Structure 1
Amino acid sequence: MCGICCVVSLSVHHSGGPLLKEDIVRLLRRRGPNSSQELIKTIPHLPYQCLFSGHVLHLRGLLTPQPLEDPSSGNVFLWNGEIFDGIPIKVEENDAQVLFHQLCLCSKKSDVLSVFSSIRGPWSFIFYQASRHSLWFGRDYFGRRSLLWQFNQEAEKAFIVTSVSAASDNPWWEVPALGIFRLDLQECAAAESMTLTLHPWKCPSRGNTTDLDAVSRYLPSHVSLVMDDSHSLVTPVIALNKEILGLPKATHSFEFSRNAPDVRILKMLLEEQHKKKLVHQFIDVFSRAVKRRVLCLVRGRDQLRGATMRKPHVAVLFSGGIDSILIAALADRHVPLEEPIDLLNVAFKITDHSRQNSSTKKSSKERKQLPPSQQCFNDINIMTTNSSSFNVPDRITGRAGVEELKSINPSRTWNFVEINVALEDLKAMRKQRIRHLVFPLDTVLDDSIGCAMWFASRGEGLITSQGVISHYKSPAKIILTGIGADEQLAGYSRHRACFEKLGLEGLNEELGMELGRISSRNLGRDDRVVGDHGKEARFPFLDEEVVSFLNSLPVWEKANLALPRGIGEKLLLRLAAVELGLTASSVLPKRAMQFGSRIAKMETSKEKASDKCTRLRMVEAE
C-alpha cells in the first residue's frame, strides 16, 4: 500500500505557493509510513511542471522510496500495487523497481499497455514518460486501488491525480477503472484545453462507449476525453458464461423439505461426483489466491528462523460468515503455523434498550427454528454478559466461527479481536478522518460501510486468552477481505428478487453488471479507508484466476436460488465450507456488514442506503 500523487501545473505563471495541500500530504503519509519524499520536474522551454509525491508502506522486497526516477531518460514512476503473477518477481526484489525498469524500455504506446496487460494483482500508478511528455495513470481492471482526479479551472490550470483527496472548492472524482489514461503535457501546455486519452480494456460486455459518455458528463468544459481503440489493454479475466440452455434436469426437479436440516442438503449435494469435483477445483483455485496474498510480504528474520513467539502479519475482516471463515480457513493452510492470525470483528454499541430486547427476543425465536448443530451461534451469548451492549449478530457468529476454526486447527493461535465502537467514538473519528476517506462517495451506505471498515481495520480491541481479557492492537499489515464473493455468487437479496422475476437470464445480466461497477461502488473507498492505518487490503475473491474460474461456470453451478436462503445463494462457497469441515458456518444467511455490526441502526433507522448522508458532508477544510 502506498500513497501516490502527481500535481501538474500547466501555467507559466505559477503563484509560488505549495503545489500540494498539506491535508492531502498528511493523508498520503498515513498510507505510506515507511518512506516519504517529493520530486519536482521542471521542463526547460516548456510551460509545465510536475510534482510527484510518494509515500511507501514496505511490504515486500527491499524498502524502495518513491517516486522512482531514471536519470538517463528522465522518467518518473509512482506505484501502488502488488504484482502477484504475470511478471516474474524474485523474493528479494521490489515490484515497483522491476516494473519501472520494464516501462523505461518502452518506446511505443503499445509497449506500455502490454506491460500493464500482463500484471496479475491490484494496482494504481502514475508514470511520466519524459521522451513523449506523456503522463500515464490508471487503476487495474477491478479498481482495487484508489485513484482520484481533480481539474483546476483557475489561472494555473492545475491537474491532480492522487490516492486520497481533501476538501476543496473544485470537485473530485474517482478515476474510472475503464483502462489507462494518457495526458500529452506538451500539447496541453500549448493549448487552452486539456485532452485525456483513454486506452480501454478489451471488454465489449462493459460497454465502454456508454461509460465514456457518463465520465465525460462530469468533466469541466476545458477537459475532453477521447478513446484510443487502436491501442487497448488485454482484459485479465475471461468473459462471463451466460449459458442457460444446458441447465441439468436434476436441478429443475431438485426439491427438499423446508424442515430438513440445512447442512444435510449440502452434504447430499456433495454426494454428486460432478459437484464434489467442482468444489475441489474451486478450493484449489481459491487456496492459491489466498496463498499469494499471505506470502507476498516481508517477514522478519526471527519469523523465518522459527522463533516460538511470532507476531501476526495477516488479519481477516471476520464476521464468522461464509466469506470470511473460508478465507481464514485457507489462510491457515499457508501462514506459518507458529504465526497467529488476527480475526477482526467489529460491533457498534446498542444504545436503545428496547431495540436490544427486541433483538434478543428475535434471536431467541430464530434459535428455536435452527437445527441443534447451529444453536451454538446463539448459545455463545452466555459468554458475553459483560459486553452485552456489543452482542450484535456479527459478534455472535464471529465467536462461533472461531470455535469452528479451532476445531479444524487447534494448533493455530486465532486472535479473535473484539472491536467495540461507542457512538461518541464513531462521531469523533468520522468527523476527524473517515469522511475525508469515504469522499467523494457520499451515501448512507458509504458512511456505514466506510466507518465499519475503518474501525475494523484499525484492529484495536479486546482479546481473550485462557479466560483473561486484555487490550490488543493488531500489528498485521495485510488485511484479507471477502469483497467480491456476493457480486459473483449471487449473495445479495436483490439477486434472489431478480431471479424470481427474470429467471437465470436476468440473474446473469445482474451478475455481469455487479462486477463491472464494483470499482466505483466499493473498492476505491475501501482501499482509502484501510490504507489510512498504514495497512493493505487484499481481495482473494477478486484474484484474476478466481474470477476467471467463476466466470467459466454457468450460473447454476455457483448459486441455486430455487433453494432456501442460507443455502442457494453462494452455493459453491457453502459446499466448499462443508468439504473443509466448516459445517455450522456453511448455512448462515447473507448479512450485510452494516446490519451485522449494527452501525446501520446506531444513529437513525429512517434512512435509505442510497440517500445522501449529511454526516459525511464535506465542509471547508479544518
Structure 2
Amino acid sequence: MCGIALIVCGVRIDLSALLPIFSISSLPQAEQPLFSINDIKAALRRRGPDSLGSKKVFLHSKIPSSVEGQDIFSLTVEEEAIKGDLHYNANSCHCISSASEEPCMLDNDFDKPKCVAELFFLGATLQLRGINPIIQPLVDAAGNILVYNGEIFGGIYLSSDSNDGEILMESLGKCCSCSSHGQMEACHGSEKGQNSVPNLLSTINGPWALIYWQASSRTIWFGRDAFGRRSLLVHWPTSKDSRLLLTSVSPPHSIDKSFDHGEEYGTSEMDFWEELPCGVYSMRVGASKLDANMVGEVKRHEWTDPILNELIKWDRTSVQPKPEELNVSRMKFPGWQHDMLSVHSTKVPYESGLTQASVVVPSETVLLALREAVMRRTAISTMFMAAKCGKTQEGHAPVAVLFSGGLDSMILSALLDECLDSKYEIDLLNVSFDKESAPDRISARAGVKELKRISPLRRWKLVEIDADLSKLTSEAKHVTSLINPAKTYVDLNIGLALWLAAGGDGWVCEERIYNSNNNYDNGDYQRIKYKSEARILLVGSGADEQCAGYGRHRTKYRNASWLGLHEEMKLDMQRIWKRNLGRDDRCIADNGKEARFPFLDEDVIRTLLSIPLWEIADLDQPSGKGDKKILREVAQLLGLHEASVLPKRAIQFGSRIARESNRKNFGSNRAANQASAGSVEIYRTSSLN
C-alpha cells in the first residue's frame, strides 16, 4: 500500500467525547483553504503508486414536512481512477460544480434533495501482494468504502496470493453496524456472532492506517495501529478551515506558503496538522434536529484484544534483579561459546509466533522471533515478482536494508540473507554527508566485509549515497513538508538522511579490495552509478527503545537504577509513534518504498518483554557491551562478531548530517550546542529560503 486521505466538508464535527475543550464546530467557509484536494493528490502521487483513485460520497437530506422527519442517505456520485497513463472520470452529479470543492446547496422544495455534506476519499496503492491489480478506494456491493495503507502479517488469514486490502474489506463488510460503538460499550451484534470494527482491527498484526465508510450505519471509521508504524495526520476543524482532514502526508504546498507569505503564516500553518494518536476512531454522521445540517460525533474506541493491550502497557514482569541473578546473567554467554553456536542450531519449529520451550538462552529466543518477523516481511509474492510490468531483471534486489553497518542493520541483513532466496541480490543503502570519512560509511564497508564472510554466495550491494547539504536547498524544503508536524532541526536532519537513503540513488563497487586499515586500495574495483529498485526497505526502528540503546537510558539507570531504566524505556515505546515512526514512514514512502520494522513486530515485542530486563541490557557494563546486550548476543549467534561490539550511533551523527547542519545554520558545532540546536524549531530559516 502507499497512502490514503479523506476530506470531510459540510459536517459539524463534535469532538467533545475526544477533546473535552471542544464542542460542535461551526461551518464557516474559508475563502482560500490552505490545502486543496489537488494538493493532497500531488503529495500521494509523488510516492510513485501503481494506482491512485478517488471517490466522492454526497450526503443529502430530504425534507418532507418537518425537520424531525429528515431522511438521510448517502450516494457515491463521482470517482476517478488513475493507473499508469489511464485516466477515468465518471459523470459528475448535476448538483456539483466541477470547479468547486464545496458541497452543493439546492432549493429546499418538498421533493428536492439538499446536498449538505461531502466525503472525498483518496487511495494510492503501491501493490506488493495479491495476484490481480487493485485500485483504491475499494467499494463493495453494500456501498462500503475502504482506503488502506498497511500489511497484515497475522490475526486475519491471508493466503499467499491474496491482497491485504481486499481481505480486510471483506472482513469489515461482515462487521456489526449497530449504534452501540461507544468507548466502553459492547457491540450488540456480538450476540448474533458478528464482529465489531474495533474488535476486528484489534486482531491485526502488522502496520496499518485506514479510513472506512460503513454505509449502513453512516459511520466513518479511521485510525492507525497500536504502535503507529504507518503515518496518519489529522486536521481537526478550526475557524480557519472547518473541514476534517485525514492524510498520510502533508502536501508540500503548505510549506511553500508558510515560507513564502511571511509572518502571517509562520508557526500557525506549521501547526495545521498533528499526528493522529494510535487507536480506532469513529464518526457517525446524522442530521441535526435543529436544522438541515449534518453532525458527526468523533469517538475513540478501546483496543479489545487483551494480548495487544498488554503490549501497549509495556509492563515487564522481571525488572529488578537479585545479585545472584545478575551474576548468572553475566556468566551465561562466555566468549568460548561464540564460535560453537551456529546460526542454524537455533532453527527449531516455530508455531503461532511463540518460541518453543526447548530454546533456553534468551538471545536464542529473540533470534527466533526476529527471524520469523523478517520472514513475514520479505515473502516474495506473485504480484511483487511482477512489479513494474515485468521490467525487473532476474536476480534484482527486491528488498533493501537501511544500512549503517551498525548492530541493528547488520542483524537485519544477516536475517534477510537467511530468509531470501540466494538468487536475489540484497541492496544495503548507506548515506553519508562526508563521503568515505563519515563513521557510518566506514562501518558500512566493514559490515559488508563481515556479511560476505558469513554468506559468500550472496551478492551484496552496498549502495553508497553521497550528499552535500549545501546543495540540497530544494530537497530540504521538501523534506520539511514530509516531517511536518515534526519541526525541529533534529527531525529535519534525520528526515533528510532517511529520505536520501530510501531513494537509493548512489554508487556501488563491484569489486572491493580492503587494506589493513580497512580503506579502499587504489586497485581492483569499479565504482558505478546505481539506483536501488527495491520497494521494500527493512529499518531497525524500535531496537534502541526496547533494548536500552540510547545515552539517556544509561543516564536514567545511573540516577534511578533498574526501575528508572524500565520507566524510561516504557516512555520511549509509548511515544515512538509521535517522535519517530510517522515522520520516518513519510520520508521513506515519498520514494515509492515501503518501510518495514521487524524489531516492532508484535511477537518480537512480546518476546523481549518476557525476558528479564537485566538480560536485555546491563548498563553497569561499558558501551558496546552492556547496552543492547541481548542484541549483541543475537549478533554473536549469527556469526557477526565485529558488529556485536559496535557502539550505538544515531543516523544524524553517523552520516555527519548533524555536523554539517550545525555549521550551516549556527556557524559551528559549538554554537549549535550552546543553542541546543536539536530542539530548535525550523520555521523560516535562511537555510530553506
Q: Shorter-chain-normalised TM-score: which range?
A: 0.7 to 0.9
After superposition, where does 1:21-170 map in structure 2 within 5 Å? 21-45=37-61, 47-61=116-130, 62-70=132-140, 72-107=141-176, 108=178, 109=181, 110=187, 111-154=196-239, 157-166=242-251, 167=254
Of the candidates 291, 298, 301, which is equivalent to residue 199 of structure 1?
A: 301
C-alpha displacement of 1:308: 9.1
Could you tell me which of 442, 452, 457 is aligned with 2:502? 457
Q: Secondary structure at the match of 2:286?
A: helix
Picking from 462, 467, 475, the partner of 2:533 is 475
TM-superposition CA deviations, 1:139-159 (whole Å, max 9, x none): 101000000111343587311
Q: What is the rounded CA distance, in whole Å, between the counterparts of 1:296 and 1:181 in structure 2?
A: 33
**Separation in 1 of the partners of 2:298 and 2:418?**
46
1:512 aligned partner = 570
Question: Cα RMSD over matched residues?
Answer: 3.4
Counterpart in the other structure of 1:7: 7
- Find the counterpart in structure 2 of residue 427 from structure 1: 473
Q: How does 1:169-208 map to 2 (within 5 A)?
A: 171-186=271-286, 195-201=297-303
Judging changes above 3 Å, is the alpha-carbon distance between structure 1 residues 522 and 409 closer, same or farther for their aligned structure 2 residues?
Answer: same
Shift in Å at residue 299 of structure 1? 3.7
3-state SS of the aligned residue for 1:614? coil
**CA separation of 1:542 and 1:616: change in aligned 2, threshold 3 A:** farther
Alignment of 1:337-486 (within 5 A): 337-349=422-434, 389-431=435-477, 433-466=478-511, 467-486=525-544
1:598 to 1:104, Cα distance in 2 relative to 1, 3 A: same
SS at match of 2:609: helix
SS state at 1:410 partner: coil
Residue identity opposite 1:54 in structure 2: G
Distance 1:87 1:505, change over 3 A: same
Partners of 1:201 and 1:85 lie apart in 2 by: 16
Alignment partners' CA distance in 2, 1:287 and 1:539: 12
2-side partners of 1:341 and 1:618: how far apart? Answer: 39
Contact 2:235–2:274 at 8 Å: present in 1 too? no
Q: Which amino acid aligns with 1:57?
A: L
Post-superposition shift, 1:243? 2.3
Amino acid aligned to 1:201? W
Partner residue of 1:611?
A: 679
Alignment of 1:565-576 (within 5 A): 565-576=623-634
Q: Is the 8 A contact 1:165 1:172 kept in 2?
A: no
Q: Is the 8 A contact 1:117 1:234 kept in 2?
A: no
Report the equivalent of 2:401.
Answer: 316
SS of aligned partner of 1:43? strand
The whole-number CA distance in structure 2 between the counterparts of 1:469 and 1:440 is 39
Superposition deviation, residue 279 in structure 1: 1.8
Tell me the alpha carbon deviations over residues 386-437 of structure 1, each in whole angstroms, 9 at most, x when there is no partner: xxx4410000000000011000110000000000001233323112x21110
Is contact 1:443-1:610 (8 Å) kept? yes
Q: CA deviation at 1:22?
A: 2.4
Runs ≥4 in structure 1, deviation > 4 angstroms? 11-19, 187-194, 232-239, 252-256, 262-271, 273-276, 615-620
- Residue pair 1:463, 1:470 contacting (<8 A) in 2 also: yes
Cα displacement string for residues 234-253 of structure 1 (whole angstroms, at most 9, x for unaligned residues): 56668421423553515258
Hey, what's the Cα distance between the residues in 2 that align with 1:203 and 1:240? 16
Conservation of the 8 A alpha-carbon contact between 2:339 and 2:639: no
> Hey, what does 2:377 align to over in structure 1?
293
Provide closer, same or farther for how the CA distance between residues 442 and 308 of structure 1 changes in structure 2, counting only shifts above 3 A: closer
Given that 1:138 and 1:175 are in contact with CA atoms closer than 8 Å, whether structure 2 keeps it comes out as no
Does the Cα contact within 8 Å between 2:127 and 2:384 map onto a contact in 1?
A: no
CA contact (8 A) 2:286 2:295 kept: no
Secondary structure in structure 1 of the residue aligned to 2:46: helix
Q: What count of residue pairs does the alignment treat as equivalent? A: 545
2:324 matched residue in structure 1: 249
Note if contact 2:285-2:297 (Cα within 8 Å) is conserved in structure 1: no
Distance 1:575 1:190, change over 3 A: farther
In the TM superposition, what is the alpha-carbon distance from 1:58 to its structure 2 partner?
Answer: 1.1
Pair 1:434–1:244, CA change in 2 (3 A): closer
**TM-score when normalising by structure 1:** 0.81
1:488 and 1:515 in contact (8 A); partners too: yes
* Cα offset, 1:600, TM superposition: 0.3
Separation in 2, partners of 1:115, 1:599: 43
Residues 155 and 525 of structure 1: CA distance in aligned 2, closer, same or farther (over 3 Å): closer
- Structure 1 unaligned spans of 5+: 205-231, 257-261, 350-388
Change in Cα spacing, 1:619 to 1:398, as seen in structure 2 (3 Å) is: closer
The amino acid of 2:43's aligned partner reads L
Using a 3 Å threshold, how does the CA distance of structure 1 residues 254 and 315 change in structure 2: closer, same or farther? closer
Does the CA contact (< 8 Å) of 1:147 and 1:175 recur in 2? yes
Secondary structure in 2 matching 1:326: helix
Alignment correspondent of 1:280? 364
Asked whether the equivalents of residues 308 and 338 of structure 1 are also in contact (C-alpha less than 8 Å), the reply is no
Aligned residue type for 1:601: R
> Contact 1:30 / 1:531 at 8 angstroms: preserved in 2?
no
* Counterpart contact for 2:635–2:643, Cα < 8 Å: yes
Distance 2:427 2:207 in 1: 23
Percentage identity across paired residues of the two chains: 38
Give yes or no for contact 2:329–2:614 (8 Å, CA) kept in 1.
no
Question: CA contact under 8 A between 1:63 and 1:94: conserved in structure 2?
Answer: no
For residues 366 and 287 of structure 2, the distance between their equivalents in structure 1, rounded to whole angstroms, comes to: 50
**8 Å Cα contact 1:442/1:616 also seen in 2:** no
Secondary structure in structure 1 of the residue aligned to 2:60:
coil
| Structure 2 letter corresponding to 1:459 | G
Q: TM-score, normalised by structure 2?
A: 0.73
Q: Offset of 1:194 from its aligned partner?
A: 5.7
Summarize the Cα distance change of 1:308–1:263 in structure 2 as closer, same or farther, 3 Å threshold.
farther
Q: Find the counterpart in structure 1 of residue 597 from structure 2.
A: 539
Q: What's the offset of the Cα at 1:517?
A: 0.3
Question: Does the 8 Å CA contact 1:322/1:574 hold for their aligned counterparts?
Answer: yes
| SS at structure 1 position matched to 2:679 | coil
Distance (whole Å) between structure 2 residues aligned to residue 249 and residue 236 of structure 1: 29
Match of 1:363 in 2: none
What is the DSSP-based 3-state SS (H/G/I as helix, E as strand, rest coil) of the residue aligned with 2:557? helix
**What SS class does the counterpart of residue 567 from structure 2 fall into?**
helix
Change (3 A) 1:499 1:270: farther
Tell me if structure 2 keeps the 8 A contact 1:182–1:198. yes
Distance 2:387 2:592 in 1: 22
2:319 is paired with a residue whose SS is coil
Letter in 1 for 2:4: I
Q: Distance in 2 between matches of 1:173 and 1:481?
A: 25
Structure 2 residue corresponding to 1:325, chosen from 410, 420, 423: 410
Kindly tell me: are residues 97 and 347 of structure 1, through their superposed partners in 2, closer, same or farther at Cα, counting changes over 3 Å? same
